[in-house]
Chain A
């Protein structure tokens, strides 16, 4: 195949990738877009196959069969609640592949007569380093989300100084390689250092901040792939990698903004490591009472309401209660209650995770309201049902300057006539922050596992 033909076909692939992203702007066409992207990918692989020629075909087949079948099985089996860690895993292996390509390329071109081309050596150094950070960081994120590693931030003295020094060392090594020092071990050092940095960098980040981390690591892998394109002089890698880099960056910023924190604060703040003993709301603890209700009481409230809004949080996903919530919602709708769902941008463990979980339970997506759309509705809502959410409905974010989450945009459930909070116990949430919503006279608590409570509510509503 001629150079022109090859590159023309690669261009077609690029077009399909852009279309795939373009189609994602509408849920009705999104799946078609993804299929177009997959076809484009297949085209690029076939072109590359022909380009590579028959020399190592059996090795290619074997390697692709191993990787592909792992990917297919894992992707088919994974539960929707475990989606974030699956995305982290696939993201990590992509970064790992980019780092390996750099290791192979450096071996191929060194020793170069005179000095290796500056752009190629820079690309090799960067893609090796970024790929390694992304690989190791994603694996730790996977471990945290899969609960193989403690989700709470892991901190120790000198952590940030140590990490910074390590990163500086890696960058220095990469710079030496880029500048033309002809030592292959330099790249191994950069990749090894990058991997250690990736681990240390994600360890101190709390589970609740994972949406930001996963978006960022996604951007890293995209960037590593784009840079790989420079070392292999391959435009499809450059464009596709950079599209992903841009997307990951944008999502990272959106997520951080949704929590009203800077990206730096999310990454280096070790949020939720200590339960803040800072200035809490006046009259902390003492004298405040919590009203607890039985499922029967709540069932009556729901069945005779005009408008009910469900506010799902990660607790709903953990309890696998999304199907039961939908059943309850259907039952209420049959009784003429208007039902919708208010979704906070950082609900769940990755951007938009809650939407996927509810879609899995067949909730029609027009019923899913984003924060800006949902908030004005609470004033005329009879009952807001908070299922396993905590910080995203904490009024302290609006009112208490001393609160660590002050300034974070929240769902104003306390404007509803009545708030029902489904919760295991009075333990504070992931970030360990006190929530005055629970002590609000409008609030009733329904203690217990979310799934069990909802099942009871379904039975009680049926009996009315």
Chain B
């Protein structure tokens, strides 16, 4: 191999890759504990979390005064990402609110599991 590859910032890159790999494991670990009951809120909740791309979009638009091209692209990115963040959190909240109600099991629900004859 004769091609010398330039990296932006060698040690920091390795550090970031480490973080990335750890995040994968953390993600699997945390998410495997979520019951199927809550898979839809999980999806829309993670959806809201990737809305953090708004941070990146803001950085781009923040540099927008340097060129009209950056301004337009950054502006669009911020619009899309904001919709993602706000919509994601609001939808998730709406769903989870419904799960909070009436969380106590009904009395009739308890005796059923041991398979005894149902009382008439």
User: Which residues does A use to contact B, with CB under 8 Å?
Assistant: 13, 17-18, 20-22, 24-25, 27-28, 30-31, 33-35, 37-38, 41, 44-45, 48-49, 51-53, 55-56, 59-60, 62-72, 74-76, 78, 80, 83, 86-87, 89-91, 93-94, 96-98, 100-101, 103-105, 107-108, 114-120, 214-215, 218, 221-222, 224-226, 228-230, 232-248, 250-251, 254, 306-307, 333, 336, 338, 340, 343, 345, 348, 350-353, 355-356, 359-360, 362, 364-368, 370, 377, 380
**A-contact 0/1 string along B58-99, CB 8 Å cutoff:** 111111111101110111111111111111111111111111
Residue on A with the closest CB to B12? A233
Q: Kindly report which residue of chain A lies nearest to residue B8, judged by CB atoms.
A: A117
Residues in chain B near residue A234, CB distance under 8 A: 55-56, 59
Tell me whether B108 and A246 are in contact (CB under 8 A). no
Report the nearest B residue to A38, measured CB to CB. B89
| Chain B: interface size category | 35 or more
Contact B73 A93 (CB under 8 A): no
Q: Is the CB of B55 within 8 A of A356?
A: no
Complex A-B: 11 CB contacts under 8 Å: A59-B61, A59-B64, A59-B74, A98-B53, A101-B56, A118-B8, A221-B47, A235-B16, A306-B118, A359-B95, A367-B105
Q: How many A-B residue pairs have CB under 8 A?
A: 408
Using Cβ atoms and an 8 Å threshold, which residues of chain B touch A119?
7-8, 13
**A241 touching B81 in the complex, CB below 8 Å, given contacts A31-B99, A72-B90, A368-B37:** no
Separation in Å of the A23 CB from the closest CB of chain B?
A: 9
CB distance from A362 to the nearest CB of B (A): 6
Interface centre among A51, A70, A359, A380 (most CB of B within 10 A): A359
Q: Point out the residues of chain A lying under 8 angstroms from B31, CB to CB.
A: 21, 243, 246-247, 250-251
Residues in chain B near residue A348, CB distance under 8 A: 40
A244 CA / B78 CA spacing, docked (Å): 20
Give A319 to B55 CA distance when docked, in angstroms. Answer: 41
Known: A27-B37, A94-B51, A243-B46. A71 touches B13 (CB 8 A): no
